[in-house]
């Protein structure tokens, strides 16, 4: 996977150099519209082989809240500006820095908070061999995850019993079918807002 690593870091550097004006504007908007705290959100996430790392995102929630790690569309802790950032995935742009320094990949499973990785048993722990990614096949399928969770009675239970196991299955499939052009395809599909073929997700 040397090619994957070189591609990731090169594209992350290019992305940061090209998008710095966008990053600056978002940073300024957060400082103006969401004062009283940092424009960035930092949190420990589980990386490859279970190693913890600090993930960086733009802040999209109020500073002081006691919500769970499961986000649902329409929550009061998500600010109006934050809702826009989350809808178009602009809040995830700082993760390009995580890719550049080697904590993440452009494509891979989304990094979970500590606790979920501990639930993985047997062959399902294969998923931890992958670097977490900004996008991935499971991310494409569940791009509207927050809206989906808003429609169910118990979002956390639905996530734990339905979405999380399905994501693990899809990401293991990605691991065992990985090739460089698959990553390119996933990135293009992410930009276009398309899903992967259903046969890959089965």
Residues 6+ apart with CB under 8 A from 56: 40, 41, 42, 94, 95, 97, 98
Share above pLDDT 90 across residues of the chain, in percent, rounded to a whole number: 69
| Domain around 179 | 2-201
Total number of domains constituting the chain: 1
CB atoms within 10 A of CB 160: 14
Helix (H) or strand (E) holding 45: strand 40-46
pTM value? 0.91
Mind listing the pLDDT tens digit for each residue in 96-152? Answer: 999 999 999 999 999 988 877 777 777 778 888 899 999 999 999 999 999 999 999
Q: What is the CA radius of gyration of the chain?
A: 17
Q: What rounded mean pLDDT belongs to the chain?
A: 90
Mind listing the pLDDT tens digit for each residue in 58-86? Answer: 999 987 665 566 788 878 889 999 999 99
């Amino acid at each position: 996977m040397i090619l994957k690593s070189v591609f990731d870091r090169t594209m992350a550097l290019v992305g940061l150099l090209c998008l710095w004006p966008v990053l600056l504007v978002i940073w300024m908007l957060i400082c103006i519209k969401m004062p009283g705290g940092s424009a960035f959100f930092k949190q420990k996430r589980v990386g490859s082989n279970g190693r913890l790392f600090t993930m960086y995102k733009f802040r999209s929630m109020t500073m002081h809240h006691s919500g769970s790690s499961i986000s649902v569309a329409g929550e009061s802790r998500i600010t109006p500006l934050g809702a826009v950032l989350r809808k178009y995935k602009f809040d995830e742009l700082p993760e390009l820095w995580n890719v550049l320094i080697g904590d993440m990949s452009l494509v891979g499973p989304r990094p979970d908070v500590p606790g979920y990785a501990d639930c993985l048993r047997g062959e399902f722990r294969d998923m931890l061999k992958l670097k977490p990614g900004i996008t991935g096949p499971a991310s494409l399928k569940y791009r509207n995850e927050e809206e989906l969770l808003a429609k169910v009675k118990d979002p956390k239970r639905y996530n734990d019993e339905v979405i999380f196991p399905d994501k693990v299955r899809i990401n293991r499939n990605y691991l065992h079918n990985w090739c460089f052009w698959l990553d390119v395809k996933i990135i293009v599909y992410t930009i276009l807002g398309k899903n992967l073929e259903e046969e890959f997700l089965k």
